[in-house]
Amino acid sequence: MAKKKTLQKALLSGNEALAHGAYEAGLGVACAYPGTPSTEILETLAGFKEIDVQWSVNEKVAYEVALGAAVAGVRSLFACKHVGLNVAMDPLMTSSYTGVNAGFVIVVADDPGMHSSQNEQDTRWVAIYSKMPLLEPSSPAEAREYIQEAFRISERFDTPVMVRMTTRVSHTKEDVALGERQVPPRPAFERNAAKYVMVPGHAYQRHIFVEKRLDKLKALAERTKFNRIEPGDGKIGFITSSVTYQYLKDVYPDASYLKLGMSYPFCDDKITAFAKTVRKLFVVEELDPFLEEHIKTLGVKCTAKDPSFRVGELTPESMPEIVAGRAKREKKVVKRPPRLCAGCPHWASFAALKKIDAFVAGDIGCYTLASLPPTAALHSCLCMGAGVTWHEGWRKGAPNKKIVGVVGDSTFVHSGVTGLINAAYNKAKGVILILDNSTTAMTGGQQHPGTGLTIRNEPTKQLILEDLCRACGADNVDVVDPMDVKAFAAILEKRINEDALSVIVSRHPCRLLKRQV
């Protein structure tokens, strides 16, 4: 008798397990911009020499490069955090129409509880909006399995597929059995204007295709084993998805479950049939009432969480509270807040900003921590690049105030540069500080064009920020080390009093960089 091959097991995070699953599925190209909690997906993939992996400049670029590779015939993946998906929405919406050729999967990691994010948007709605199928693994082992299914669905139905993780799934570790890599045969790359040139006439036909595809995907949702009924004692039943399933199983081991692994399109027949087998039905999900609202439209009688639970991450403790129909009790937990590291160059930059008592338009990065006391010298954090554009907007709205914009080096390349071009073109004045610590620090120190190294630390063309700023049209570009306190204060004082558009590159490497070498 042939001996069954024992698979190697490893303790992997959801992100690592997903990366391994994608590798096994024959993934060829992967693109992303770093963002907690999704960063480790690309970092893990970079360890596989067979895969072409890149840190892209931003999520829109990443999405397009990865999708292009799939259209040209190789299985590809785009990974991002929830807010990163917003940046990629433009190509995403129309890619639903073009479809794919080889499989293309969007991995998006939501952050319920905002462990490291500026909002807790529920990206499952994007599946409805874009008419794409949505898979929701509830554990690392499932992440490995689901990503492989996602590639199959993508090719079979000619659609991008969303795999939605959450911080808890991405950063939970589990023992995961690993398999061998199998590369499927490559589909041919052919010119096909009707499919890839989305002008109105073609797009109209593709929209018809998309609606038909949605019907076929609905039929798949009804029969897939990823939407699984687990019969229990019939007293209470749960319809649930993602990690919430795991919490419920611990608290209510005897209940019946409809565990949704493919949560969109909705499996209406399965939901209705399941509802009939239980005396009391609960719909339990994290964040928005995505399942709840749809299930209620089916006329199925069910109880869902009190709306107060739409805010924040659910925990196993929330389960009995939700079942009892209670509102969320806000617990005051005293935790040590994060702060800038000792010796971080940002301390020096913000000490200078505090001294001139400026209104500081901030951005996304470690330096956002400078908004906290005692520094409290950063006054906004909206989205990537808004440090540059809010600076311009604030100056328009409050011309008599002292206003400075700050943005990190990686963030500037991501989406600050367009704001700077806009400011120059529209004759805006003011001071933009690029806090250049020569890394993407907040997410753990990833490379970007300004560092001159790739995701695999190979040397590449280096983007020179000061040259770029001059080319954008900045009147003055200074490069100063913020640790040189006097020189830095002097240049800041000089530029803030000029009627010009100035960029000060505040350059000093991240303290954590040296340790990594």
Partner 1 sequence: MKDTVYSITFGGIGGQGVLKASEICGWAALYAGYHIKKSEVHGMAQRGGSVESHLRFGKRVYSPLIVAGGADFLVCFHHDEQPRLKAFLKKGGTDMTDFLDKVQELIDDPRSLNTALVGVLSPKLPISETCWMKAIETVFKPAIVAENKKVFLTGREIGRP
Closest CB 112 distance from partner 1, rounded Å: 12
Q: Report the residue number, 4 or 515, with the smaller CB distance to partner 1.
A: 515
Q: Report the residue number, 339 or 402, with the smaller CB distance to partner 1.
A: 339
Q: Provide the strand spans (E) within 210-345.
A: 227-230, 236-241, 256-260, 262-264, 280-284, 303-304
Closest CB 251 distance from partner 1, rounded Å: 8
Phi, psi of 260 (to 5 degrees): -90, 110
**Which residues contribute to the site for partner 1 (CB under 8 A)?**
9-11, 36-37, 39-40, 115-116, 139, 167-168, 171-175, 243, 246-247, 249-250, 315-317, 333-341, 366, 369, 442-444
Provide the 8-state DSSP code for 234.
Answer: S
Q: Report the residue number, 363 or 392, with the smaller CB distance to partner 1.
A: 363
Q: Report the residue number, 98 or 138, with the smaller CB distance to partner 1.
A: 138
- Bridge partners, residue 283, by sequence: 239, 304
Q: At what angle do helices 200-223 and 268-276 cross, to 10 degrees?
A: 30
Cβ atoms < 10 Å from Cβ of 381: 18
CA distance 506 to 409: 9
Q: Report the residue number, 76 or 438, with the smaller CB distance to partner 1.
A: 438
Contact between 380 and 406 (Cβ < 8 Å): no
Closest CB 256 distance from partner 1, rounded Å: 16
C-alpha distances out from residue 447 to 15, 418, 467, Å: 19, 20, 19
DSSP notation for 102-137: S-EEEEEEE-TT-SS-S----THHHHHHHT--EE--
Q: Report the residue number, 154 or 411, with the smaller CB distance to partner 1.
A: 411
Q: Report the residue number, 35 or 449, with the smaller CB distance to partner 1.
A: 35
CA distance 132 to 151: 13
Closest CB 45 distance from partner 1, rounded Å: 17
Closest CB 317 distance from partner 1, rounded Å: 5
Closest CB 263 distance from partner 1, rounded Å: 19
Cβ atoms < 10 Å from Cβ of 276: 9
Closest CB 230 distance from partner 1, rounded Å: 12
Q: Give the H/E segment covering residue 30.
A: strand 29-32
The token pair that represents 47 in the structure block: 């360890």
